[in-house]
Amino acid sequence: MDAAGATAKAGAWAAALRWDDVPPRVRERLELVLLDTLGVALAGAREPEQRRLVEAWRPADGPAPLLGAGRTTTVEASAWLNAAALVRLELDEGNKYAKGHPAAHAFPAVLALAAERGASGPETMAALLVAYEVASRFGRATSLRAGAHPHGSWGVAGAAAGCARLLGLGADDVAAAIDTGAGLPVAGHFGSALDGNPVRDAWMAASNLSGLAAARMALGGVARNTGTAAIALGELLGGFDPDAVADGLGERWDVELGYFKRYAACSFTHPAADVVLALRPEIPVDDVREVVVETHALAAGLTRTTWDSRLGALFSTPFVVASALVHGHVRPAASSGAALHDPRVEALAARVVVREAPDLTARLPDERAARVTVRLPSGDVTREVPNPVGDSAHHPMDAAALQDLLAELLGSATAIEVARCSAELAAAGDVSIPLRRLACASTP
C-alpha cells in the first residue's frame, strides 16, 4: 500500500467513526486522557514562563478557552498557547508505540475548534479519538532520523484528522486534510530539548496550529491527498511505512496503550526515578557513591550532569535521579526556583552515570526498561523495571490515581473542578460551556 492509499483509508475511517459505536472501555480511557490533558495544561498555564508568554502574545478576544487565564480567545491563539502550556512541565500523556505524545499534538486544536462551533460532547469526543488514533499510527509509521525530536512532526496528521472530523468533512476531504498535515511537519532536533530551549514547546504548539490549517484547507477545497507523508515524514525526516497507518483501525485502539506521567520530566527518565524512589527508604542518600543507570538506546543520550534551565533539567536523567533521592519526588517544585540548582542535587547528579544496555534496547518498543545500580559503602544494590509506573502495561493509573496526581499539581479544589468540567464536556450539548468554566479554573 502506498502513502496516498493508507491516508485514504485513515480518512474513511475517521469520517465514519461514531461515538456511540466506540467500545465502552475505549471511551473510558479517552476520558482519562482528556482529564489528564486538561489538568496538566492548566498546571502548565500557571507557570511564570507561560504567563509571560500569554502577556507577550496579547491574544485577542474570541470563543475558545485560554486555560488558567480566566478568559477566552481566538481559536488559533487557544490552540497554540494551550498546547505550549500542556507540554511545559513534561507531564503530558504519551504512547511508547507512537514514540511520542499523540494527545498533545492535537487535543488543544480540536478543543478550541469545538468551542468555536459549540460542538456537542459526543462530536468532540469522536474528534479527539480520531485525532489520537491517527496521530499514533502516523507515529508508528514514521522512523525519525537519529537526533530528531518527535514533537511537531508526525502528530500534525492527527491534529488535521481530528479537526476535519469535527468540521463534518467526508472521507476524501478528511484524507486530504490528513495528507496536508503530514506535509507540515517541524524538523526539530533533540539537542534543542537537551539544551533547555523552549522552542521544543513551540513545536507542539505549531502542530496544533498546522492541524487546524490543514483541516480548513480541506474545508475550502484546496487540499489534496497525494501521499505527502512518504516524502515529508519519510524521505526528509527518516522513513515512513504506509502499512502502519491503516493497521488495526477500529480494532486496535492505541489510546488504550498509552501512559500517564507521575514525574515532571522526560518519560525516558521515569523508570530510573521509580527505582530510586523505591530504594530511597533503604539507603542513606549521603552515602551514595555512584548511581549507574542502564537503559535503552532512546534514553541513553540523557546524560547531562549540568543544566541552566528547567527544561534542560527535565531532560537530564542525572537531575531526575538526584532529585528523586534528595527530595523524595520529581514534582514541578523540584525544578523551579532555588530547587533547580540545589547543591545537594547538583553534587549527587555528578555521580550519576547513564549508559545504554543492548539487552534493554532489544526489548523496545514493548518495554522501556531501566536497570539501576546504587553503589554504597556497604555494597551495590541493583533493581530493574520494565516500564515506568503509569504505563498501560505496568501499574497503570486509574481515575482515582489520576485524580490524586492532579490534586498534587493543582490543589484539591481545582482538581475537582477540572474533573467536573471534563466529565461534563463528554456529554455536553455545547462543549464551550464547560470549557469556558475551565478557562477560569481557580488557582490554589
**CA atoms of 214 and 380, how far apart (whole Å):** 55
**Residue type (1 letter), 248:** G
Sign of torsion, CA 30 412 341 382? Answer: negative
User: What does the block give as the cell for 306?
Assistant: 549540568
**CA atoms of 199 and 204, how far apart (whole Å):** 9
Cis, peptide link before residue 358, omega less than 30° from 0 = no
Give which of 130, 143, 132 is closest to 15, Cα–Cα: 130
**Number of helices and strands in the chain (H, E):** 20, 8
66 burial via Cβ count (<10 Å: 0-12, 13-18, 19+)? buried
Give CA separation, 26 vs 33, 147, 206, 250, 257, in Å. Answer: 11, 34, 28, 11, 10
Q: What is the pLDDT of residue 442?
A: 57
Give which of 232, 107, 214, 105 is closest to 169, Cα–Cα: 214
**CA atoms of 42 and 92, how far apart (whole Å):** 11
Please identify which residue in the block is written with the cell numbers 478543543: 111
**Whether the Cβ atoms of residue 234 and residue 182 lie closer than 8 Å to each other:** no
**CA atoms of 138 and 141, how far apart (whole Å):** 5
**Whether the Cβ atoms of residue 402 and residue 319 lie closer than 8 Å to each other:** no
**CA atoms of 332 and 156, how far apart (whole Å):** 28
Q: Where are the domains of the chain?
A: 3-260+398-439, 267-385
Rounded (to 5) percent helix, strand, coil in the chain: 60, 10, 30
CATH number of 3-260+398-439: 1.10.4100.10
Q: Where are the alpha helices (DSSP H) in 280-430?
A: 310-314, 317-327, 343-349, 358-361, 399-410, 412-427
**CA atoms of 226 and 299, how far apart (whole Å):** 35
Q: What is the pLDDT of residue 440?
A: 86
**CA atoms of 213 and 45, how far apart (whole Å):** 24
Q: Where are the alpha helices (DSSP H) in 183-227?
A: 190-194, 199-219
Cβ-based neighbour number of residue 282 at 10 Å: 9
**CA atoms of 284 and 178, how far apart (whole Å):** 54
Q: What is the pLDDT of residue 381?
A: 95
**CA atoms of 352 and 322, how far apart (whole Å):** 8
21-63 residue pLDDT tens: 999 999 999 999 999 999 999 999 999 999 999 999 999 999 9
Give which of 190, 191, 193, 185 is closest to 235, Cα–Cα: 185
Cα 264 to chain centroid distance, Å, stands at 12
The reply to whether the predicted model has a pTM over 0.85 is yes
Spatial neighbors of 286 by CB under 8 A, at least 6 apart, are none
Q: What is the pLDDT of residue 441?
A: 79
180-194 residue pLDDT tens: 999 999 999 999 999
Q: Which residues of the chain have pLDDT under 70?
A: 442-444
DSSP string, 264-287: SS-GGGHHHHHHHHHHGGGS-GGG
Residues paired with residue 434 on neighbouring β-strands, in sequence order: none
**How many angstroms separate the first and last alpha carbons of the chain?**
53
Give CA separation, 56 vs 42, 50, 147, 209, in Å. Answer: 19, 10, 31, 18
**Residue type (1 letter), 428:** A
CATH number of 267-385: 3.30.1330.120
